[in-house]
Amino acid sequence: MDAATCRRLFASSLRAALATSGLRGPHIVPIVFAVDENRLYTAIDQKPKTTNRLQRLKNIERDPAVAVLADRYADDWASLWWVRADGVASTVTDSETRAHGLDLLAAKYPAYRDQRPHGALIAIDVTSWKGWSAAGAAS
C-alpha cells in the first residue's frame, strides 16, 4: 500500500495501539487519535488513572521513537487491513499546536467535545507508513 492509502485507512480507525520502548521492553497501550497529514495527536484525558505521570510519557521522554498500529478485523477476511505509523513522539507545549490537536480530537470523538483532555497532548511525527490489506493482496 502507498502512504496515502495507509494514512486514509489509519485515519478511518477509531482506536489504535501505541508502542513505546520501556526499560523492560515494549510498552503498548490502546489510544484514540487524530491524523493531520503526517502527524498524529493523542491526549491523556480524564478517564480514571492511577497517576498522570504515565509510563508512555516517561518512555517518550527517554526514547521518542514510537510505532502506532491500527487495524480492521472482520469475519469477511477480504476486508482485513492493518497500518503501522512509525515516528517520533513529543509532548506538545506550544499552546497553538495544543489547541489544534485538541480541535482535531474533538472533531473525531464526541466525548472530547464536551470535556477536552486536560492532560498531556502527544504529537507523533510519522516518518513512515506501512500497511497491508487483503484487498490489495488480492489485486
Half-sphere exposure of 75 (CA within 13 A, CB side): 0
Name the phi and psi angles at 128, rounded to 5: -155, 145
First to last CA, the chain: 11
- Assign 49 a pLDDT band (cuts: 50, 70, 90): low
- Please choose, from the candidates 9, 31, 38, the residue with its C-alpha nearest in 3D space to the C-alpha of residue 109: 31
pLDDT digit string, tens, across residues 116-133: 999 999 999 999 999 999
* CATH number 2.30.110.10 given to 3-133: yes
What is the pTM (predicted TM-score) of this model?
Answer: 0.93
pLDDT digit string, tens, across residues 60-116: 999 999 999 999 999 999 999 999 999 999 999 999 999 999 999 999 999 999 999
Longest Cα–Cα distance in the chain: 48
Q: What is the pLDDT of residue 46?
A: 75
User: Going edge to edge, which strands form the sheet with 34-36?
Assistant: 25-31, 16-22, 65-72, 81-91, 121-133, 39-43, 34-36
- Assign 139 a pLDDT band (cuts: 50, 70, 90): very low
Examine the pLDDT at 22 and tell me if it is beyond 50.
yes
Question: Cα separation of 91 and 61, whole Å?
Answer: 8
Lowest mean pLDDT of 17-26, 38-47, 91-100, 116-125, name the range. 38-47
CB atoms < 10 A from the CB of 108, how many? 16
Look up residue 107 and give its three cell numbers.
472533531
- Contacts of 46 by beta carbon, 8 Å cutoff, 6+ apart: 115, 117, 118, 119
- Assign 136 a pLDDT band (cuts: 50, 70, 90): confident
